[in-house]
Every structure is written in structure tokens, then in C-alpha cells.
Chain A
Amino acid sequence: MGRVGATILLLFVVAAIFAPILAPHDPALRTAQPFAAPSFAHPLGANDVGQDILSELIFASRLSLTVGFVTACLATVLGAAVGIVGGYLRGAVDTVLMRGVDVILSLPFLPLMIVLAAFLGQNTTNLILVIGLLIWARPARLIRSQVLSVRESGHVQAARAMGATHGYIMVRHVLPRVTPLVAAQFVRTANVSIMLEASLAFLGLSDPFQKSWGAILFYANARSAFLTDAWLWWVLPPGLCIAAVVVSFAFLGYALEERVDPRLRSTLPTKEPLRDTRTPTPVREDALR
């Protein structure tokens, strides 16, 4: 599964990088009749002003991928840090951090984005900044909740009893244990931010002069593509692209999960006790030493 995800993602990344070569036309130029149906020269037809949709699609991958990846990194790093520190140390630190998380989570996200889009102006950098600064709150909370459990588990208790420092425990014991969840959150965040960018673009709140899949759908909807045959070549492809990228992120995340924690491998038969076929993880070795 991971291979499938990685392959798809790689395809899109390659398409994004080599867009000028791959795209049959320059998407900023009007090379066809408006609303042209698919033809040999324009396999996905043309949009409402006559720009080639396939070329638009290819170039749009740049923005969507960038937004997704950057915000996911930002959010996951911040979120994991806050979640682990707060969940492990507990006490006042945890309280302050979690109340901060609560405050952020209590703000309705999309409306807040709308306000901020109005205030900051509609350009991509602001978009990334704003999404990234708000989206770490959810992963933080989830990771923290798992850290609460991990903290009480056997090997962590053992390490504490043996006098390991907090920092050591957090990095060598807690982090590996929560990595599956962190990986899942990375995937989730990338998905959410790509989706968020698409929704904002669809509502007309991101920069309409930049090509993104959401923006393509914005024009498609505004120019009635859902009601005519154009939905086939103007609406399906961008939506499928978004879905494909997001799914491939998800598959990749899933594969990462497996690699980090072999107990989650689905190739194992379920009936037999897992102990026999499991290979000891580094964490276990440390704990036994």
C-alpha cells in the first residue's frame, strides 16, 4: 500500500516540477474557444475563458502540493512537540499548553480563515501561514492523549525508576511509541490543509489568479459546469486530483505506520499470538537493559 501511495505522490511531484514540459499549453494563454469540449488538442477541454484545463491541472499541482506539505510539516512538528511535552510533564506545563490548545480549538476554523483572508489579503503565503499556525492544535491534543497512556506503561515507568531524565524518556521512549499516531496526524494534516485550500478557493477566498485545484473548481461551479456536460471534464478531474493526492498521502502514512511499528503490519495472520513472529523493537531492548 505504501508503494502505491508513494508512487502516486511521486507522480504528482514530478508533474509539479516538470509542469512546463508536461503541459501541452501555457495555462495562462487562451488557446481554445471558451467552454470547448475535449478534443485531441485539448484532452480535457477548455475552461470558461479558453484556457486548456489539462495544463491548468498540471500547473495547479504545484500550489496544492506546496500548501499541503509545508503546512503539514509545520503543524506536525509543533503539534507533536506540544503534545509530548504537555502529556508527559503534566502539571502546570500541561495545563497551560492544553488550555492554549483549547482556545485555538474553540475558534471556528473556516470562519476564522475567512476573516483572516479578508484581513491579510488573499495570497498564498498568508494562507500557508494561517493554516499552519492554527492546524497544529488538533494533533497536539490527540498526541497528548496517547502520551497520557504511554506515560503509565511499563517500560516508561521502568525507565523513570532507573533515573532517566525527562528529555531522554520523551525522545527515546515516548516519541517512538507515539510515532504511528504522529504519522497518522501528518497525513491527516496534509489532507486537511489541501482540503482547506480547496474549500477556501472554492468559496473564492484564496488567490483566484493562482492556479490551484480548488480555484479550478471555483470557476467550474461559478460557470455552471455542474449543470452541463462539462462536469465530466471540468469538475471530475480536479476533484479526482485532490482525492488522489490526499489518498496517496494517506497510504504513505499507513505504510510509515507499519514500518515504525511492526505490530501493525497487516501481513501478519491475526489468529496466532503476535509474540512469536514479532521482532523485538529497539524500545523493548532499552527497557530490558
Chain B
Amino acid sequence: MVRGALERSWRPVLVFVLGLLIVVVSSPTAGGAQQSQQVERLTIATEADKGNLTPYSFRPPPGIHSELVGLVYDTLFLHPYTEEPIPWLATEASANADATVWTVTLRDDVTWHDGEEFTAEDVAFTYDYYRDGPPNRYTHHASEVPVVESAEALDATTVEFTCEQPCPTLDLVTLADLPILPQHIWEDVEDPQTYTDLPVGTGPYRLAEYVEDQSYLFEANEDYFLGPPAVGEIEMPIVPDPSSMFLALQNGQVDTATRPVPPELQESLGEARDVELVEGKRFASIFYRFNAESPPLDQQEFRRALDMAVDRQALVDTVLLGNGRAGSPSFMHPDSRWFEPQDAAFDPEQAGAILDEAGITDSDGDGSREYEGEPVSLSIIVSANDPLQIRTAELVAQQLGEVGIELVPESLDPGTLSQRQNALDFELSSFQGVPHLIGDPTQMIESLESLLVYSNPEYEGLREEWFQSTSVEQQGETMREIQRLFVEDPPALTLYYPDTTYAYNSSAYDGWIPVEGHGIHHKWSFIPEAPELLGIETVAQRTAPPEEETGGRTILYALVVAGAVVLLVLGFFLLRRRSARGSDEDQI
């Protein structure tokens, strides 16, 4: 009787174990291109308060602004540093023969955060608003380079742009950079700088809360046209102190930081539990602006000699501990598609020879050259908040001292620095090249005039050529020629391109993608379709080789099977023993 019962209970157990095996075997393989897990909340520490994140809420560096604006607002094409235009709010764009008139088709399934429909009227309004209103970081795209004469909504999903001069890169650059504003809100805004409401955009996140100087809170836009983003809520505390920021990352209080990891911290930070580092490919450079009206900087040979007297590699090795690349006269960032590779010649002897030829010699043997009777002494202004720049200036001063030019570094608080830079009240000034300045050719062309005050007859001709180019290839070629001209007559002294390494906690989120010019903290790290559209791998995909995954799975199978077998065998023996005992008892 007992035996029969035991025998009967065998079967359900067997069935159960077999069923388990089947389930395990047939479960879908998770290996391969899984983008990222769905995460409820992410904490990103950011280094500065950037206002309420409208395109007008600019604050001076450091800190990221346009990527945060990009969380809330969208552009017509994906971003301005791609090889080919990638549709985003627009689906396609086509130009006429001489690239002065563009017709752009928009998506019809996009809504603003407040529920209103996104239409071509919004786009037309935005471009007019930027062109005619006060400047911000994006307005030059409509008001200067190029000048968008008119933006007209032909119907609900078509816009026609007319440029004053041929604008072959409209879809590649211009339309990819300008965030679109909602007409129904901004048509009543007289002074964009005093607009303090939370921004309304079409982007994957809504700015739900902004506490000035403390934090941002973003909520996912579930109705985003590409589907809900991968992270439900993003909180961004503002942590100005770099030590605090990385400390917080180390002990898990935040999941990542928007500040690039400084060279001296990379080793120890990378060793912290779950903390990974990735090169963000954000465009960064440090260059020295000339005031070409201040003698002897008004002499081209002098500027060229300065360029040749600076040992950029030494700067990279000492100040950046090797985490960067030596600067090139080309001015554009080396990772930008417009970059023309040329090495900065470091040749102090040649520099000395050039100076001698120009009549700037050391006539009294005191080690420093004279110009028109006065010893050559230049001052360079740097920001007091930026120790890397202070150190760099000290080193450059030493290097220039060896060719007989005295360089006196002066450190100023950021406000004074801005003011003197804008008033051209300096001889040399240290400048941080923001991604837009060194990655976007239209911005560079505009800045050569406004920022760098560059005047060179050959350049004038090339500039005309650039403005008359009707194709991307033509413009690209002209851009390369301009950069070749810079070797002879540099618009500024590009010192180096620092690496932009970012740290993140891999167990919190691993869907980050490094996008050239933007780093890893941008909306495309949260949009599941973006890596494919951009052809870039997420950090998760990079660090997990496929073999390991299959290996893992095989082991899992083996374990389960082995376990099941062991259970069966054990069970068999146990039951046998019991029934044996039972029969013994029965016999007794």
C-alpha cells in the first residue's frame, strides 16, 4: 500500500522536473543585441546650473547645456556631426539645384508635451524667431551662417526654407542643430531671457521639476514618437565641487557624472566597484586667442613663430598626463568629419629663425627679444577657476621663454575674463573650444569673424567660395583648403584636445552610447532605437562579448540538467530505502 503511494508520487515529480527542463531550454535566447534594461530611475550628477533649459537659458562653461536642452526639445535631423543626415522630426529633405531652396517633410505623429500637435507652423515660427530675436547659441544658424531668408509652412507637414546664399549643409548641420520651439507658447514671449516657466518641447523627457542651483527632475514622455525612453525618471543633482561629484559616484549616491573624469583620477575611479569608464568622444579643445590688433601680434610671421615655439605634446604629457592629443592648426576637432589632418610643427629653432627674419631679435643679449625697441612681453589671461589652464599657461610661458618671448600669465575671475575677452582687452586669451565651435563648420565660419577676428586676404577668397558652394562635397573641399591656410596663418593657437572620459555605474544603467561631439549624457542614450540609427554600440554591447553569453547559457543548461539528474537519483535511492524499510516493517 505504502509502496504504491510512493510509486504514484514518483510521476508528478518526474513530470515536474522534465517540464522545468523544457521551459529552460526553450526560453528565448537573450544573447546578442539587447540594448539595455528598462530602468525606473537614474541619478546623474551635473556640475553646473544651466537654467530652465530653454535654448535661451545659456550659462557660461563648465557644464553641459545643449544636451540637456536636447532631452526636452527635438531637432529636425538627429545631430549636426553625422556623416549623412539622419531624419528625426523630419522624414526627408531635398534641395533645388543650387541649394538655396529646401523642401522638408515632417513627421505627422509628434505632439508637444502639453498635448498640442506639432506642425510645420512650429518649425517656420522657430526659424523666424531665432533669426529676428536676441541671440543664443543656436541663432547663428538662421541669422548668420546661413541666413535663412524665409521659412514657410506649405502645409501641416511641409516646410520650405530659402537661404540667402547656397546652403548645401542645411539638412546635415543647420536643421540638425536647432531645437524647435512651440509656436503656441513662444509667440507671446517678448523677452526670451526672462522666460522662467518649465520648457515645453517634443523630446523624450519632460522637465518636471527644476530647483535652482540644486537639481533637475526629468520624467519620461511616454508618448514620444519613437516610443517610451528606456529610463522612467532622471534626477540630476547639481554638484559644483569635482571631488564631491566623484566621491558620490564612488559610493553609489549617483550613477554617473557629466563632468569628464580628470586624468589623475582615471586609474583609481576605474577600480571602484561597478564603475566603468568610457571615452565619450565629446569635442573639446583648448586654444589661445590672439588679439591681432596688438603689436607684435599684428605680424603674421610673429603669430606663426609663436605657433611653432609651443611644444604641444609636452603639454599633453604633463598637464593631461597623456590623456589627450596635441593640437593641430586645423582648428576643427580631429574627430569631426570636416577635419583636415596636419601636424603642428614644433620647431623652436625655425621659430627663432622666423623671428630673426622679421626683425624681432635679441639685440642686447638679455635673453629676450625686442620689437621696436621694447622687450617683447605678452600677457595671457586665463580663468582663475581652471587650474589646468593656469598650469598650461605656466608651461607655455616657459616654452616661449626659450625662444626669447616673455609670456606673463594673468588669472582673472570668470566674469572679468568674459568681459575682457568680449571687449578685446587682452593680448592672448585662453579659450575652451566648445563642441559646437570646433565641430560645426557653420559656427567656425561665423566665429572666424566674430570671435577670432581673423583677417587674411586669401581667406576672404576661400570664404566667398565656401558661401557659393552648392554641394556638401564642394563645401568640404573648401573647408579643407581653409584649414591648410591655417598652417601659414593660424587664427588661434590650438594647444590640445583633451580626452573626454566619462564614468558610469554599470550595474545601474549600461545603455550609454558615445556620440561624437556630445559625450554620453544625451537623449540618444535613452532611446532604444538610437544605437541602430546611429550605427554605434552601447557600452553594454561593447563590454559583453557574445561567446561569453552563450558559454554562460551552456553552463546554465548543464547545471540544471545535472541538478535534475542528481535529484532524480537521490529521490530514487531515498524511495527505495524507505520502501525497503517499509517492507521490513511490514514483515515484522
Contact = CB atoms under 8 A, between A and B. Distances in A.
A212 to B, nearest CB: 13
Nearest to A35: B264
A224 B318 contact: no
Chain A interface size range? 20 to 34
A30 B384 contact: no
A224 B244 CA distance: 10
Interface stretch (A1-9, A214-222, A237-245): A214-222
A221 B243 CA distance: 7
A208 B387 contact: yes
Contacts of B246: 224, 227
B265 interface: yes
Contacts of B247: 226-227
Nearest to A230: B264
B413 A205 contact: yes
Contacts of B388: 222
A204 B264 contact: no
Main secondary structure of the interface of B (DSSP, over half): helix
A204 B409 contact: no
Nearest to B383: A204
A222 B395 CA distance: 18
A117 interface: yes
B411 A34 contact: no
B390 to A, nearest CB: 5
Interface string B261-280: 01011001100000000000
A221 B385 CA distance: 12
A121 B250 CA distance: 38
B264 A226 contact: no
Given A122-B384, A205-B384, A209-B409, A49 B319 contact: yes
Given A49-B394, A224-B242, A227-B268, A118 B416 contact: yes
Contacts of B390: 208-209
Interface string B288-330: 0000000000000000000000000000001101000000000
Interface string A174-187: 00000000000000
Given A118-B415, A226-B243, A208 B264 contact: no
Nearest to A223: B264
B391 interface: yes
Contacts of A39: none
Interface string B26-54: 00000000000000000000000000000
Contacts of B556: none
Nearest to A229: B268
Interface in B423-473: none
A261 interface: no
A208 B384 CA distance: 8
Contacts of A227: 243, 246-247, 250, 265, 268-269
Contact of A219 (B265, B387, B412, B416): B387
A114 B413 CA distance: 9
Contacts of B243: 221, 224, 226-227
A50 interface: yes
A224 B411 contact: no
A67 to B, nearest CB: 18
Contacts of A226: 243, 247
Contacts of B410: 121
A117 B413 contact: yes
A207 interface: yes
Contact of A122 (B269, B319, B412): B412
B318 A50 contact: yes
Interface in B224-268: 242-243, 246-247, 250, 262, 264-265, 268
Given A227-B243, A227-B265, A34 B321 contact: yes
Nearest to A49: B391
A52 B395 CA distance: 16
Contacts of A228: 264-265, 268
A143 B376 CA distance: 53
Contacts of B268: 227-228
B394 A223 contact: no
A56 interface: no
A219 B387 CA distance: 7
Nearest to B268: A228
Interface in B382-411: 384-385, 387-388, 390-391, 394-395, 409-411
Contacts of B242: 221-222, 224
Contacts of A223: 262, 264, 387
A268 B90 CA distance: 90
B148 to A, nearest CB: 39
A48 interface: yes
B262 to A, nearest CB: 6
Which of B242, B387, B410 is the most central at the interface, judged by chain A CB atoms within 10 Å of its CB? B387
A209 B391 CA distance: 9
Contacts of B262: 223-224
B44 to A, nearest CB: 19
Contact of A118 (B319, B321, B385, B413): B413
Contacts of A114: 413
Contacts of B412: 118, 121-122
B415 A34 contact: no
Nearest to B269: A227
A226 B413 CA distance: 24
A86 B207 CA distance: 58
Interface in A217-270: 218-219, 221-224, 226-228
A172 to B, nearest CB: 49
Contacts of A224: 242-243, 246, 262, 264-265
Contacts of B384: 122, 204-205, 208
A114 B385 CA distance: 13
Given A224-B246, A228-B264, A48 B411 contact: no
Which of A114, A222, A228 is the most central at the interface, judged by chain B CB atoms within 10 Å of its CB? A222
B411 A207 contact: yes
Interface in B508-566: none
A36 B410 CA distance: 27
A19 to B, nearest CB: 20
Contacts of A49: 318-319, 391, 394-395
Contacts of B411: 122, 204, 207-209
Nearest to B391: A49
The 6 closest A-B pairs by CB, nearest first: A222-B387, A204-B384, A118-B413, A224-B265, A226-B243, A208-B390
13 contacts: A34-B318, A48-B264, A49-B319, A49-B395, A117-B413, A122-B411, A204-B411, A219-B387, A223-B262, A224-B246, A224-B262, A224-B264, A227-B246
Given A34-B321, A48-B264, A222-B388, 10 more contacts: A34-B264, A49-B319, A118-B412, A204-B384, A205-B384, A208-B390, A221-B242, A222-B242, A224-B242, A227-B247
